[in-house]
Amino acid sequence: MRIGIDCRTILNSKNSERAGIAHYSYFLVKNIFDIENENKYILFFSFGQSVPKEFLKKNIEIIYFPKKIIPLLSSHYIFAKIIERQKLDLYHSLSGNLPLLLKTPSVITVADLAMYVNPQWFLPKNDFFWRKIIIPWSIKKAKKIIAISENTKKDIIHFFHIREDIIEVIYLGVETKNYSESELDEELKACHLEGKNYFLFIGTLEPRKNIIRIIQAFEELVLGKSFAPNSSPLRGEGASDSYRGKGEGKDNKEEFFLVLAGGLGWKYEDIVWHIEKSQAKSNIIRTGYVSQKTISALLQNALCLVWPSLYEGFGLPVLEAMSFGAPVITANNSSLPEVGGDAVIYVHAENVNEIASAMKNIVQDNSLRTILQKKGRERAKFFDWKKSAQKTIQVYANLHTNDSHDRENR
């Protein structure tokens, strides 16, 4: 087969530092190439975009789309013609959208339908064209749809009335790089977190991530009724003392910190305002965008990940946290229970008291943390990029077989 894959979502190939759909794109494609080399792959990148060295193999050809002079014309006419000239058996869009004039049989990956669940989470200028035209057309046009969770599959059926057999659920995997303790120490020092007990949020600062309620829950925790936490190995069994919080047992708000690790997103202003006006402001640390190495250090040393998002297509930070043995507090909505299973603490995302109570339990209950660490690591093993790649290759093969049968029966 000649298979085309749109790799433009891999925005930064340097050091494999990617988030969201870029993370998915890189690890899926990388693992596809690790598994099989019989098919011919044509990868499409943007003009001037760097290509990961792992993608430079004999059965892979790189095609660069030209610069967009007139965006609408380039994206939906010129790019469609470039793709069709490759005479592909199928084309896979990893970002859920297709050129409007593309005739090549296509597969699309749909990560989530958040813009349909709540349009207020997104920029109004992007709403009409994408929400009303591009996404609906792409979903109707695709021969096969890959959903990254059962919840996303359910949303696709609900919003677009697509036949269930058109949609294949393929979960994301998790792949963690091991760093030395000295490297992790350096990352913590750079964030001014060495020796501190902290709760952690990872992600873009935007309304959908429910950060204001996390801040309010943290305020309730550190400014409300006092309590003394139990001593605990924050890195799991066998943790060294250098990773235990210093000052445990002190009864003051300086003891605990809330770390918000991520860049500013849509409607971030209200979040920043709440941070600045918070009575616990001195205990809230905003790092900005962080590298994968920093994320590794933060997760391995956190009291827990606090991630009660209002809606997620998958929830990759929850999976990453479990793989590192970090306890997780997350919401009982959308796809998050699919990822967390029985290995996390669930809360109602809009209930600040529940979030605060869960955080307090993490601090006070050493056995609970130990159970969550163990269960989390086991749960994370279920999600494997090689398994994701194998299922995706099977989607390609089935689609090609079905198309061949259709041509023979005409």
Asked whether the CA dihedral 105, 111, 113, 114 is positive or negative, the reply is negative
Work out the percent of the chain whose per-residue pLDDT is above 70: 87
- Domain check: are 218 and 294 in the same one? yes
Instruction: Identify the domain containing residue 110 by its residue range.
Output: 2-173+384-408
Number of domains in the chain: 2
Which H or E run includes 106? strand 106-110
CATH code for the domain of 100: 3.40.50.2000
Tens of pLDDT, residue by residue over 330-375, are 999 999 999 999 999 999 999 999 999 999 999 999 999 999 999 9
Highest mean pLDDT among 70-79, 115-124, 156-165: 156-165
In this structure, the answer to whether residues 366 and 254 fall within a common structural domain is: yes
Based on the domain organization, do 368 and 221 belong to the same domain? yes
Residue with the two structure tokens 């091991």: 178
Judgement on whether residues 160 and 244 belong to the same structural domain of the protein: no
Question: Are 145 and 191 within one domain?
Answer: no
pLDDT at 196: 94
Q: Are residues 9 and 150 in the same domain?
A: yes
* pLDDT classification of 226: cutoffs 50, 70, 90: very low
Classify 257 as helix, strand or coil.
strand
Query: What tokens does 127 get?
Result: 């709403």
| Same domain assignment for residues 372 and 389 | no
User: 148 with 277, same domain?
Assistant: no
State how far the Cα of 399 lies from the Cα of 395, in Å rounded to an integer.
Answer: 6
271 vs 161: CA distance, rounded Å: 36
pTM of the complete model: 0.88
Matching residue, tokens 């979040």: 271
pLDDT 10s digits, 280-337: 999 999 999 898 899 999 999 999 999 999 999 999 999 999 999 999 999 999 999 9
Q: Are residues 205 and 74 in the same domain?
A: no
Chain segment 17-62, per-residue pLDDT in tens: 456 788 999 999 999 999 998 999 999 999 989 999 999 999 999 9
- On whether both 121 and 47 belong to a single domain, the answer is yes
Quick one: 160 and 69 in the same domain? yes
**Burial tier of 15 (Cβ tally within 10 Å: 0-12, 13-18, 19+):** exposed
